[in-house]
Amino acid sequence: MSEPAFSLKATGRLRRRQLVNKGMGALAIGAALLAVAVLAIVVISVASRGAGSLNLAFFTQNQAQGFNPKGGGVLFAIVGSAVLVGIATLIALPLGVLIAIYISELAPPRFARVARMALDISNGIPTIVIGIFVFTMLVAAHGQSAFAGSIGLAIIMLPLIARATEEVLLLVPSSQREASLALGVSRWRTTVQVVIPSALGGILTGTTLAIARAAGETAPLLFLTSLGASGNADANPFHPLQSLTLVIFTYSDLDPAYQSKAWAAAFTLMCFVLFTSLAAKLALARYRKKLGG
């Protein structure tokens, strides 16, 4: 066989192009590593400063009095957060599911588009604006309360639950609906007794994600439920209640004893939000795969 008169190796211009290619690849890897590094730095610094202050008293005692107190805990804030998010979920979950049913099953296409756009726009409204909105609507006249805070949180959770539910409703195979309708079952029963139970897993994980989001909110609560909130555990929604997030915010500015509690509260909240978000996303991914999404 005679000598080949050419080569398939990279030379000259191609070698330069390959260098550029590798360079860009390195930049991309670098950016990804940077993101992971930042995540690690934030998580580790919160963990290292917060975990140390975690003890039973932290979770079971209420706000200590005075300057630089030794003991005390954030029980009142945990209870407050639970009440705030709990009531918000009770409001947003049924509404969100109903809206999703309308958009995916019952609405004429133009209405569905309008509703979807409204949800997406609401999702993008800064939460502080939502806080001001509920403030002018409710608090100006009736004073602060956890209930007002829950309404603010519910407005924030609503688009998330509605969109997540809509997505899983669309994923339910139409063969299920058609089988039910073909048996003579009415549309509403089909939706309520066949489609929704099928979509339940997805609805729950979507709600969990919304709960994780609401648990991390601070800005709207500033106007709605912090003034005059007691430092003792209180579950009455008509009183203003503290939340874990508000405590982190307030304590961050105070003396070291409170600051260490702020770190501990931040660590607690971060663990809660990250674990529930991650678990919900994993469940959602598996659920989607099961339904063939």
- Residues 217 to 246: which contact another protein by CB under 8 A? 217-220, 222-223, 227, 245
Residue from 51, 90, 118, 254 touching another protein (CB under 8 A): that is 118
- CA–CA gap between residue 97 and residue 207 (Å, rounded): 10
Residue from 51, 121, 179, 200 touching another protein (CB under 8 A): that is 121
**Which residues in the 180-209 window bind another protein by CB under 8 A?**
183-189, 191-192, 209
Nearer to another protein, 42 or 235 (CB): 42
The distance of closest approach from Cβ of residue 70 to another protein in the complex, given in angstroms and rounded to an integer, is: 21
- CA–CA gap between residue 277 and residue 274 (Å, rounded): 5
Buried b (16+ CB within 10 A) or exposed e, 207-234: bbbbbbbbbbbbbbbbbbbbeebebebb
The distance of closest approach from Cβ of residue 289 to another protein in the complex, given in angstroms and rounded to an integer, is: 12
**Which residues in the 32-91 window bind another protein by CB under 8 A?**
32, 34-36, 38-39, 42, 45-46
Distances (CA, A) of 34 to 26, 28, 108, 246, 278: 12, 10, 46, 30, 21
Tell me which residue of 285, 247, 263, 280 sits closest to 77, measured CA to CA: 247
Binding mask 241-280 for another protein (x = CB under 8 A): ----x--xx--x------x--xx--x--xx--xx--xx--
The distance of closest approach from Cβ of residue 10 to another protein in the complex, given in angstroms and rounded to an integer, is: 4
Interface with another protein: number of residues (CB under 8 A): 109
Tell me which residue of 80, 212, 237, 70 sits closest to 151, measured CA to CA: 237
Q: How far is CA 132 from the centre of its chain?
A: 20
- CA–CA gap between residue 191 and residue 147 (Å, rounded): 32
Contact between 141 and another protein per CB under 8 A? no
Nearer to another protein, 13 or 70 (CB): 13
Distances (CA, A) of 232 to 33, 62, 148: 44, 5, 20
Binding mask 147-186 for another protein (x = CB under 8 A): --------x--xxx-xxx--x--x------------xxxx
